Amino acid sequence: MIRVGIYGATGYTGIELAKIFARHPEVEIKFATSDSYVGKKLSEAFPCHFDIPLVAHDAAPLDRIDVAFLALPHGASADYGKRVLDAGASVIDLSADFRLHDAAAYKKWYGLDHHAPELLPQAVYGLPELHRDQIKKTKLLANPGCYPTSVILGLAPIWRANATNDTIIVDSKSGVSGAGRKATDIVHFVQVNENLSPYNIGRVHRHLSEMEQELKLVNPKASLIFSPHLLPVTRGILSTMYVRLTDGWDENRLRQLYAETYCNEPFVRILPSGQFATLTHSNYTNYCTISIHHVADVNQVIICASIDNLIKGASGQAVQNMNLMFGISETTGLL
C-alpha cells in the first residue's frame, strides 16, 4: 500500500483526490489537512460521504507517509514541499510552484520570490505523455496546470513534427471549478450562469508560461496566443486551437501523426474523422480527448482537446503520476 497525505483536502482538487483514493486499491490515506476546518471531517467541509478527519497543516504526521499531495496555493506549496522532502517522503505538487524550471520566470508570472529555488532542478513536470521516464525516477513532481494539459497534449505532435512556423491561436473554455472554492464576485452563480466571459486573453494568463516552456522543449519557435473563457459549467476544459501549417500536410497525414504519437497512451484518445471533442467526452474521466479538423483551402488545422480540469487537469493526473513514481500500473484507480 502507498501511504499518502493530502495537504489542502477541502479544495476542489483535494476532494477529487479523496474520491479517486476511495477507489484506488493500493492507497491508504494517512492524513488530510485544512486551514479552515481543522478538527472537523471532510464530510463537514463539503457535501460528501468521506469522514476523513482534518488536521492542521503543521500537525501532519510526515513520518507515516510515502507521498504527500499538495493541493495548496502557490507559495505555500514550496514551503510544505521542502518539509515533506526533508522528512523523506515524495511530493506531488498540484500548485504552480515547481512547474517553471526558472525562478525568475516564476517571479515574473506569479509575483513571488520562489521559496525553494534550490529544489527546482530536481522537479519534474508531470505530464506522463511527455516525461514518463523522468517521472518514474523523481521524488518531486510538479503536476501540470489544467489549461496547459489540454494545450500541450493537443499541440505537441504538431510542433514535434515542425508542422507550423507561426503563432498558434488557442481559444480555451473552462468550467468554474478551475477558479477554486473561494467565494468571489467572479464565481457568483448569477454572474456565471447563462453567461460566457473571456478573461486575461492574449499573452497575459499565467498558464502561458508553462505551455511555452514545454512546447519550446519540442520546438523552440513555439509561440501562442492564449484566450481563456469562463463557461457556465462546473467541470471541463475545451481548447480550440488554430494552427497554420507548413506545406505538405493534409488530414490523413495529420491523423497519422497523432495516431503514432499517442497510440500507446492509456489516457489520450484521438476521435475518428467527423467527430468533435466535447467536454462530455472527458468529464469524470482521466482522458484527454482530441479531434482533428483540417481546413484545406487555407491550409490550417483546428485541434480540439478536452479534459476534466479536476481529473486529467489536476487530481487524476496527480494519481497517474503517483502510479508511475511508485511502480504500479499507470491506470490504477483511474478507469
Enzyme catalytic residues: 146
- Grid cell, residue 255, equals 491523423
- Subset of 27-56 contacting a copy of itself (CB under 8 A): 47-49
Q: Which stretch binds a copy of itself (CB under 8 A): 206-214, 253-261, 293-301, 319-327?
A: 293-301
What is the rounded distance in angstroms from the CA atom of residue 302 to the CA atom of residue 295? Answer: 7
Query: Dihedral (C-alpha) 116, 122, 127, 128: value to the nearest 10 degrees?
Result: -150
283 binds a copy of itself (CB under 8 A): yes
Q: Which stretch binds a copy of itself (CB under 8 A): 54-62, 219-227, 252-260, 319-327?
A: 219-227
Query: Dihedral (C-alpha) 19, 92, 94, 40: value to the nearest 10 degrees?
Result: 50
58 binds a copy of itself (CB under 8 A): no
Query: What residues have CB less than 8 Å from 34, skipping those under 6 apart?
Result: 8, 9, 10, 40, 45, 54, 55, 56
Question: Long-range contact list for 106-115, CB < 8 A, 24+ apart?
Answer: 108/209, 109/206, 109/209, 110/74, 110/75, 110/206, 112/74, 112/75, 114/78, 115/75, 115/78, 115/79, 115/82
What is the rounded distance in angstroms from the CA atom of residue 206 to the CA atom of residue 242? Answer: 20
Closer residue to a copy of itself (CB): 60 or 277: 277
What is the rounded distance in angstroms from the CA atom of residue 161 to the CA atom of residue 323? Answer: 30
Phi, psi of 271 (to 5 degrees): -75, 150
Per CB under 8 A, the list member of 76, 87, 112, 295 interacting with a copy of itself is 295
225 binds a copy of itself (CB under 8 A): yes
83 binds a copy of itself (CB under 8 A): no
Work out how close the CB of 123 gets to a copy of itself at its nearest, in angstroms, rounded to a whole number. 28
- Subset of 128-167 contacting a copy of itself (CB under 8 A): 167
Work out how close the CB of 304 gets to a copy of itself at its nearest, in angstroms, rounded to a whole number. 5
202 binds a copy of itself (CB under 8 A): yes
12 binds a copy of itself (CB under 8 A): yes
Per CB under 8 A, the list member of 76, 103, 105, 201 interacting with a copy of itself is 201
57 binds a copy of itself (CB under 8 A): no
Query: In this structure, are strands 288-295 and 237-244 parallel, antiparallel, or unpaired?
Result: unpaired
328 binds a copy of itself (CB under 8 A): no
In which order are the strands placed within the sheet that holds 224-230?
Answer: 197-198, 224-230, 168-174, 237-244, 300-307, 288-295, 268-270
238 binds a copy of itself (CB under 8 A): yes
Per CB under 8 A, the list member of 118, 189, 247, 327 interacting with a copy of itself is 189
Which residues sit at the interface with a copy of itself, rule CB under 8 A?
12, 22-23, 47-49, 167, 169, 171, 173, 175-177, 181, 183-185, 187-199, 201-203, 223, 225, 227, 229, 231-236, 238, 240, 242, 269, 276-281, 283-285, 287, 289, 291, 293-295, 297-298, 300, 302, 304, 335
